[in-house]
């Protein structure tokens, strides 16, 4: 485990935090490996319901550590899986909801990873930039497909071709993040949402996340898959608890379900 990544479990919420402020949280191979393990462990731990990825006061991440990066340039999809790919696969495959809390700079993969989180929130001082073309490189980890689909090709080109910096207001207006908060309240707001997610029925959360992250398909096929999951959940103990709580006018307690 890298000393530059801190992992803390607060009840059902796991916080994975960049902790290399002297280097603006630039990410090394060891840091990627540590985050990959933390995400994989969270996926397999029924006690963990939600994962939060955060930085430090005023710094999310400056992206890859270029010195570390150049020592072993990653070949994504090659014979050997580099640590950055391990991390991104763990993020994309995480069965639990993942929330990003972006305070300060989110450069390169600091922006790319947001596209694979379930929710992303920013502070008013957040800055987003993907300088791949400026470094004579190409976009990474599906951003060339996801961003045009999310924002439209012209708007996506501001990030991926021009390499423009977006402030938090622009990122929210263009749906890169869900909401923006003052820096001093960002993590409290994120943790409030994380705890709210953690209190919900875990099987229903997994089903909804699985459906939303599945590849596009014929609409009737998707409706059929939704119906199958819906019918399966109707037979679950979690549904019984939800109905019982509604009838008894109390909050449901899903803490005993994994």
Residue in the structure block whose two tokens are 């803390």: 8
Per-residue pLDDT, 103: 98
Spell out a b/e string for 206-236, using b for 16 or more CB atoms within 10 Å of the CB, else e.
Answer: ebbbeeeeeeeeeeeeeeeeeeebeeeeeee
In this structure, is residue 255 part of a structural domain?
no
Closest CA to 140 of 69, 216, 211: 69
Do 52 and 98 reside in the same domain of the chain? yes
For 185-227, the pLDDT digits (tens) are 999 999 999 999 999 999 999 999 999 999 999 999 999 999 9
In this structure, is residue 254 part of a structural domain?
no
Do 94 and 213 reside in the same domain of the chain? no
Closest CA to 255 of 8, 11, 9: 11
Do 148 and 212 reside in the same domain of the chain? no
For 129-180, the pLDDT digits (tens) are 999 999 999 999 999 999 999 999 999 999 999 999 999 999 999 999 999 9
What integer is the mean pLDDT of 70-98? Answer: 88
Look up the CATH number of the domain holding residue 104.
3.90.226.10
Do 221 and 158 reside in the same domain of the chain? no
Do 150 and 185 reside in the same domain of the chain? yes
In this structure, is residue 125 part of a structural domain?
yes
Query: What domain range includes position 239?
Result: 202-247
């Amino acid at each position: 485990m890298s000393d530059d990544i801190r992992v803390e479990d607060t009840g059902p919420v796991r916080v994975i935090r960049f902790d290399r402020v002297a280097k603006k949280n630039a990410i090394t191979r060891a840091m990627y490996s540590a985050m990959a393990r933390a995400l994989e462990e969270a996926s397999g731990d029924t006690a963990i319901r939600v994962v939060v990825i955060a930085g430090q006061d005023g710094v999310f991440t400056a992206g890859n550590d270029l010195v570390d990066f150049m020592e072993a340039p990653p070949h994504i999809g090659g014979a050997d899986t580099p640590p950055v790919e391990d991390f991104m696969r763990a993020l994309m495959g995480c069965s639990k909801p993942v929330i990003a809390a972006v305070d300060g700079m989110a450069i390169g993969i600091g922006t790319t990873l947001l596209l694979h989180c379930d929710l992303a929130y920013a502070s008013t001082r957040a800055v987003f930039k993907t300088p791949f073309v400026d470094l004579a490189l190409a976009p990474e980890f599906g951003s060339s497909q996801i961003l045009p689909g999310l924002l439209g090709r012209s708007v996506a080109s501001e990030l991926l071709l021009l390499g423009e910096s977006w402030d938090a207001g622009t990122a929210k207006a263009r749906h890169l993040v869900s909401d923006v908060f003052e820096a001093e309240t960002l993590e409290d707001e994120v943790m409030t949402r994380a705890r709210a997610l953690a209190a919900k029925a875990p099987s229903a959360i997994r089903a909804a996340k699985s459906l939303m992250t599945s590849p596009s398909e014929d609409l009737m096929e998707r409706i059929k898959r939704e119906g199958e999951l819906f019918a399966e959940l109707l037979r679950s103990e979690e549904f019984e608890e939800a109905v019982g709580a509604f009838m008894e006018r109390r909050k449901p307690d899903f803490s005993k379900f994994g």
